[in-house]
Amino acid sequence: MSYYASKFFWLAAQPLSLAFFAIVVAILFGWFGRRRLQAAFMLLSAAILFVTLYTSAGTVMLQALEDRFARSTLPVGGPRCIIVLGGSFEAEVIAARGGVEMNQAGDRFVETLRLLQAYPEARVLVSGGDGSFSGRYAGDATVSAAFFAAYGISPVRLIQEETSRTTFENVENTRDLLVQNGLDDCLLVTSAFHMPRAMGLFRKAGLDVVPWPTDYRTSGMASLQLDFTQPSSNAQLTTTALREWIGLTAYYLAGRTETILPE
């Protein structure tokens, strides 16, 4: 599936979009007098919205991914290299306002910075290009230079992979850079829920990396229940979880990983 096809597919497949399309279909069935089908699709839309907004289903689905990989033991003397996957900087905001602005995944770079300060011999490879439709913005690898420099990290320690737009491209484009720089057994830093997909791809590519998850979104103690206290947060967690599970399934079916849920 091409990059743009996957983007458009996800626009349609996320929960709130599915609920909207179910309502549209219900209206069309009503227009043609198919009342039972109209009622069925209205109920489907209501069910999607209820599960998405008023249950902990998304939290539980995301938690299952976050629990898949724990942080490994660091090698003696610390890591020689760290790979951090992009997706943390607000490229459009930075382009308009300047500075360095992070989104919810910013902990990927905060944790990487902590590791670089703790282990001054380690190098960092940032993988992430412009993932926008327009292709007009600086990607995470480019922006990271200013971020790390602001905290005293020497630019000679930074390797930038500036072209990837997906996790699959992250891995493909990172492989050559690791070989060119003589680096192996790197820490892999990404969001905990994203780690299974990333590890599956790295393993399939024959690259040994050490998982170092960060950016946890769940407590690890969630159970399936009703939750009327935070519908907007529930919707966001459900959307993130569904996107990641779809990505895991798609990569497995495409032969890019050995199993749907790596461990």
Nearest to 220 by CA among 8, 63, 88: 63
| pLDDT value at residue 134 | 65
Q: Please give the DSSP secondary-structure letter assigned to residue 90.
A: -
Mean pLDDT, to the nearest integer, of 246-259? 95
168 is written with which tokens? 């699959």
Query: Are 194 and 244 a contacting pair, CB within 8 Å?
Result: yes
pTM listed for this prediction: 0.92
What is the residue-averaged pLDDT of the chain? 94
* pLDDT for residue 1 is more than 60: no
Query: What gap in Å lies between CA 104 and CA 116, rounded to an integer?
Result: 21
> How does pLDDT run across 2-24, given as a tens digit for each residue?
677 777 888 889 999 999 999 99
> How does pLDDT run across 184-210, given as a tens digit for each residue?
889 999 999 999 999 999 999 999 999
CA dihedral of residues 135, 141, 146, 149 (deg, nearest 10): -170
| pLDDT value at residue 135 | 67
Taking CA atoms, 117 is separated from 19, 107, 108, 112, in Å, by: 46, 15, 14, 9
Please give the residue that has the higher pLDDT: either 131 or 236. 236
| pLDDT value at residue 102 | 95
Query: What gap in Å lies between CA 67 and CA 23, rounded to an integer?
Result: 35
Query: What gap in Å lies between CA 162 and CA 246, rounded to an integer?
Result: 25
| pLDDT value at residue 12 | 87
Label residue 196 exposed, middle or buried (CB < 10 Å: 0-12, 13-18, 19+): buried
Angle between helices 231-253 and 57-66 (to 10 degrees): 50
Q: 254: helix, coil or strand? A: coil
34 is written with which tokens? 């198919």
Work out the pLDDT band at 215, boundaries 50, 70, 90: very high
> How does pLDDT run across 67-117, given as a tens digit for each residue?
999 998 898 889 999 999 999 999 899 999 999 999 999 999 999 999 999
Percent residues over pLDDT 70 in the chain: 98
| pLDDT value at residue 6 | 79
| Residue 35 CB neighbours (<10 A) | 10
| pLDDT value at residue 222 | 96
> How does pLDDT run across 55-77, given as a tens digit for each residue?
999 999 999 999 999 998 898 88
Query: Are 13 and 242 a contacting pair, CB within 8 Å?
Result: yes
